Amino acid sequence: MSLVDSLFQNLRSSGRKAFMPFVTAGDPDVDFTADVIRELDRRGCSMCEVGIPYSDPIADGPVIQASYTRALAKKIKLRDILKMFSGLSGKVKMPLVTMVSYAIVYRHGLENYVADAKAAGIAGAIVPDLLVEESEELAKICKAADFSLIQLVTPTTPRERAVRIAKSSTGFIYYVSVTGITGERTELPPSLVENVGWLRKQTDLPICIGFGISRPEHVKLLAPVADGLIVGSGLVRRIAEAANKSREPVVKDVGEYAASLLSSL
């Protein structure tokens, strides 16, 4: 059982839902990222999704793309990010997972990536550009290591394919709330609740919803049908201000924003 499995088992047994913030590793630097992760953990977040900067991200909107660009401009390397995770190991309660392109995993070596990530205290990986038809090898490695391989289902995923993705995923299913890219939105699709309800009947895996969630009313709407909610752009936009402001107030602002959403769960 992975740390992600244990988290959702505990949440379900107590009737609670997961709140999962997203941050970009190395924006503006890894020390600041570590400070933000510790703050989010202190505020009671359930899990943190950490984006590994990549030059051609999949489905990321302008806010997260810009954060990747800033981190890459400073020549951040995977080894720097793994070192940061190692420094956090044992110091935060919430599991940490990476949002990582398959190109990075492949270049590092599938077995090496899983082994090095787990050694650094990482509990799983979301690989948005890994097709389910090509996921078997990585899924096998992850399963043997009790390392969650989290895959995505979108509103346009055919239902037969969605079931196949659910069967090959571990940890939880990342349900993409909207067609398009990440980013804060004022409204979410009216069909979202129905679609997630259908998927829930097909799998026992927890279902967490991401993309577009940025307001307390979004959290209140989706909490009854989701096992967890993922918030990214609203946090990353606040973190971007760290380049021009004193860092301590930015960390506090990020924590207060997360807490305002958490209070709606």
Among residues 29, 39, 60, 227, the one annotated as catalytic is 60
Asked if residue 32 lies in contact with residue 154, where contact means CB atoms within 8 angstroms, the answer is no
User: Hey, where are the domains in the chain?
Assistant: 3-150+227-259
Low-confidence ranges of the chain (pLDDT < 50): 180-186
Classify domain 3-150+227-259 at the CATH class level: alpha beta
Kindly state the tokens that stand for 107.
């270049």
Tell me the C-alpha to C-alpha distance, in Å, between residue 228 and each of 45, 173, 222: 11, 10, 9
HEC secondary structure over 148-169: EEEEEECCCCCHHHHHHHHHHC
Kindly state the tokens that stand for 154.
């979108």
The reported pLDDT for the residue numbered 93 is 96
List b or e across 34-50, with b for residues whose CB sees 16 or more CB atoms inside 10 angstroms. Answer: bbbbbbbbebebbbbbb
Among residues 5, 41, 49, 227, the one annotated as catalytic is 49
Distance CA 123, CA 128 (A): 17
To the nearest 10°, the Cα dihedral for 39, 237, 222, 139? Answer: -80
The reported pLDDT for the residue numbered 186 is 43
The reported pLDDT for the residue numbered 23 is 96
The model carries a pTM of 0.91
Q: Is position 39 annotated as part of the catalytic site?
A: no
Name residue 153's beta-bridge partners. Answer: 175
Residue closest to 3 by CA, chosen among 104, 89, 80, 86 = 89
How many other C-beta atoms are found inside a 10 Å radius of the C-beta of residue 170? Answer: 19
Q: Is position 60 annotated as part of the catalytic site?
A: yes
Cis bond before residue 28 (omega within 30° of 0): yes
Q: What is the pLDDT of residues 111-148, one digit of tens each?
A: 999 999 999 999 999 999 999 999 999 999 999 999 99
The reported pLDDT for the residue numbered 223 is 82
Name residue 152's beta-bridge partners. Answer: 174
Handedness of CA 218, 220, 221, 225 (dihedral sign): positive
